[in-house]
């Protein structure tokens, strides 16, 4: 019997018992749908993390000087010197002074949400922040003179100054600052929000250090020539700092690119485990196919006996039942793929509604082919035993079967 004849006969048998065939396929459908959706969720989470880390800067090193285990200190001049000595790795450096406890006032109104950070004149360029027309960024002279000037985010500009913040003043920890520039939108979403990436105020780090009473700066941001150099650049910086302090407990160098890689690796392991757990449904579906094929062999015993009596060889009988089992499994796999894409679309909408985050559940082509291929293999494997049983039937016994 030719393959296409066996395939056609398999379709007729499936259509003859639609409900039974659907229930047989259900395990395969659920398994394939689950695997595709889980892998799609993993892809969406990975893309979301990459976008989030890119906004923080995957081509940067964050350096924190703790001073533990050493009586020495490192000056900002020394940090600039380290960057200048290794132009093959480092581009620019900016000290950063976080003023978490700073109060921001506009007249008698206290602004609760803006974060105030002291940075160098290069920081905005390092972060690739753009300025809106009509203002300017921080200059070197602002840092040198400890000027009381600031650059504000778009949220502060639109919420408190009706889009006309440049030239206006506000108070930070009781000191009057003049707004010299406004950042264009930072957030990738295209929207500004309270407490978000656009709800910020940047002032010269020298001014922030004096206001905070910091004698020695302990936080720096360094941009790299390329994010591909994150690992060797981190090693170079750590070696230089070790030469200064003589202890590797006195500092901490964090690579955003390495951190992203570590988190992505952990996420991939988690998604793989979840996909394997979901794949158990495929095993259950395979057992269901084997059961229904064994029942089918029993129901069609006389048919098998007639065919063998007419000269049908064992391999023809066996291929017929294997093809029928594989066809059942493949159809279930195809329905599972459709259900997986549908569930992924629904999951995207649900996540957006519940978290207000743009995380797209995006199934990969690889996961589709993998799930479809596994469903076909399961049909063949679990159809083999019933097919072998059918092929081994004695034609005389089969003909006498009631």
Strand order from edge to edge, sheet including 149-152: 97-98, 115-119, 200-204, 149-152, 175-182, 169-172, 104-106, 109-111
The CA-atom distances, in angstroms, between 271 and each of 44, 220, 348, 366, 388 are: 11, 35, 17, 14, 37
Cα distances from 133 to residues 5, 18, 166, in angstroms, run: 73, 67, 10
One domain for residues 17 and 72: no
Confidence of residue 166 (pLDDT cuts 50, 70, 90): very high
The total number of residues written for the chain in this structure: 402
Banded model confidence at residue 109, pLDDT cuts 50, 70, 90:
confident
Confidence band for 298, pLDDT divided at 50, 70 and 90: low
**Domain carrying residue 342:** 3-53+265-399
Q: Is residue 62 located within the same domain as residue 85? A: yes
Which of the listed residues 263, 290, 307 is the one where a domain comes to its end?
263
* Structure token digits, residue 284: 């259950």
Please tell me whether residues 106 and 184 are part of one structural domain.
yes
Segment 13-29 shows an average pLDDT of: 80
Pair 249, 381 in one domain: no
List of residues 6+ apart from 6 with CB closer than 8 A: 319, 320, 323, 324
Q: What is the mean pLDDT of the chain?
A: 82
Is 227 in contact with 257 (CB distance < 8 Å)?
A: yes
Do residues 158 and 66 both lie within one domain? yes
Average pLDDT of the segment spanning 313-317: 71
250 and 321 belong to one structural domain: no
Q: Which of 229, 244, 263 is the last residue of a domain?
A: 263
**Mean pLDDT within 111-135:** 88
Mean pLDDT of the region 311-320: 72
Residues 333 and 347 in one domain: yes
Considering only residues 288 and 397, tell me which one the structure prediction assigns the higher pLDDT. Answer: 288
Q: What is the pLDDT of residue 54?
A: 63
3-state SS, residue 101: coil
What percent of the chain has pLDDT above 90?
Answer: 22
Last residue of a domain, one of 263, 298, 327: 263
Per-residue confidence (pLDDT) for residue 192, from 0 to 100: 63
Whether residue 172 sits in one domain with residue 92:
yes
Alpha carbon distance 71, 247 (integer Å): 10
- DSSP assignment of 335-355 equals HHHHHHHHHHHHHHHHHHHHH
Average pLDDT over residues 370-390: 77
* Domain match, 292 and 388 both: yes
Q: Region 390-399: what's the mean pLDDT? A: 63
Q: Which of 19-23, 58-62, 130-134, 318-322 has the largest mean confidence?
A: 130-134
- pLDDT average, residue stretch 197-213: 89
Whether residues 158 and 195 share a domain: the answer is yes
Number of domains, the chain: 2
The whole-model pTM stands at: 0.63
Q: What is the pLDDT of residues 213-265, one digit of tens each?
A: 887 888 999 999 887 888 899 999 999 999 988 888 889 998 877 777 777 78
Please indicate, yes or no, whether residues 209 and 120 belong to a single structural domain of this protein: yes
CB burial of 94-128 (b: ≥16 within 10 Å; e: otherwise) equals bbbbebeebebeeeeeebeebbbbbbbbbbbebbe
Looking at the fold, whether 225 and 350 belong to one and the same domain comes out as no
């Amino acid at each position: 019997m030719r393959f296409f004849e066996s395939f056609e006969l398999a379709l007729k048998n499936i259509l003859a018992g639609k409900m039974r065939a659907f229930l047989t396929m259900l395990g395969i459908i659920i398994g394939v749908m689950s695997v595709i959706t889980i892998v799609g969720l993993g892809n969406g989470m990975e893309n979301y993390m990459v976008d989030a880390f890119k906004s923080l800067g995957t081509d940067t090193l964050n350096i924190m000087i703790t001073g533990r285990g050493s009586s020495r200190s490192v000056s900002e001049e020394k940090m600039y010197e380290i960057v200048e000595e290794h132009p093959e790795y480092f581009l620019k450096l900016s000290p950063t002074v976080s003023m978490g406890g700073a109060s921001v006032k506009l007249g008698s109104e206290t602004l609760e949400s803006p974060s105030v950070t002291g940075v160098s004149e290069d920081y905005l360029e390092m972060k690739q922040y753009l300025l809106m027309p009509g203002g300017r960024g921080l200059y070197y002279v602002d840092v040198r003179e400890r000027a009381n000037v600031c650059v504000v985010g778009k949220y502060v500009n639109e919420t408190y100054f009706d889009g006309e913040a440049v030239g206006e003043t506000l108070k930070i920890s009781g000191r009057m600052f003049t707004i010299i520039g406004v950042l264009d939108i930072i957030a990738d979403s295209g929207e500004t929000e309270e407490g978000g990436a656009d709800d910020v105020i940047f002032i010269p780090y020298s001014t922030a250090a004096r206001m905070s009473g910091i004698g020695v700066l302990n936080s720096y941001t360094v941009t790299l020539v390329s994010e591909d150099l994150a690992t060797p650049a981190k090693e170079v910086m750590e070696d230089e700092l070790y030469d200064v302090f003589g202890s590797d407990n006195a500092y901490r160098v964090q690579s955003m690119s390495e951190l992203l890689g570590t988190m992505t690796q952990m996420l991939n392991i988690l998604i793989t485990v979840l996909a394997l757990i979901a794949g158990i449904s495929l095993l259950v579906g395979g057992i269901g196919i084997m059961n229904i094929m064994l029942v089918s062999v029993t129901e069609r015993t006389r048919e098998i006996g007639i065919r063998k009596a007419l000269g049908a060889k064992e391999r023809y009988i066996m291929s017929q039942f294997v093809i029928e089992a594989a066809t059942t499994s493949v159809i279930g796999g195809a329905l599972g793929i459709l259900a997986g894409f549908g569930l992924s679309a629904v999951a995207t909408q649900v996540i957006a509604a519940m978290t207000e985050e743009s995380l797209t559940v995006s199934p990969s082509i690889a996961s589709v082919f993998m799930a479809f291929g596994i469903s076909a293999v399961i049909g063949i494997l679990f159809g083999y035993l019933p097919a072998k049983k059918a092929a081994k039937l004695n034609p005389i016994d089969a003909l006498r079967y009631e």
